[in-house]
């Protein structure tokens, strides 16, 4: 069950995590967690398995994913860093 839940969460994050303003990040993560739990239930994954694969706190995991999305977006815009001698 955990393997199925882990794969579900990874796929779900890939499909649903997009850049969000920092001011709205926690509230957005709460809404995403609710949607994720609903989608997981429809896929036959109970909320406890989902919480376990999220490290015990789905909201905190999604905040981390939103932070990573912002970092990737910023890195893509600014491009690779160059070192000059």
Q: What is the pLDDT of residues 14-62, one digit of tens each?
A: 999 987 778 889 999 999 999 999 999 999 999 999 999 999 999 999 9
Q: Which two tokens stand for residue 25?
A: 């990040």
C-alpha to C-alpha distances, 50 to 32, 55, 65, 68, 74, nearest whole angstrom: 13, 9, 15, 20, 29
CA geometry: angle 15, 19, 20, nearest 5 deg? 120
pTM given for the model? 0.80
- What three-state secondary structure class fits 17? coil
């Amino acid at each position: 069950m955990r393997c199925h839940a882990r794969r579900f969460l990874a796929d779900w994050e890939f499909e649903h995590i997009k850049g969000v303003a920092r001011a709205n990040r926690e509230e957005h993560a709460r809404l995403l967690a609710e949607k994720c739990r609903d989608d997981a239930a429809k896929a036959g994954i109970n909320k406890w398995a989902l919480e376990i694969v999220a490290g015990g706190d789905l909201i905190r995991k999604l905040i981390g994913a939103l932070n990573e999305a912002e970092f990737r977006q910023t890195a893509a815009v600014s491009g690779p860093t160059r070192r000059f001698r």
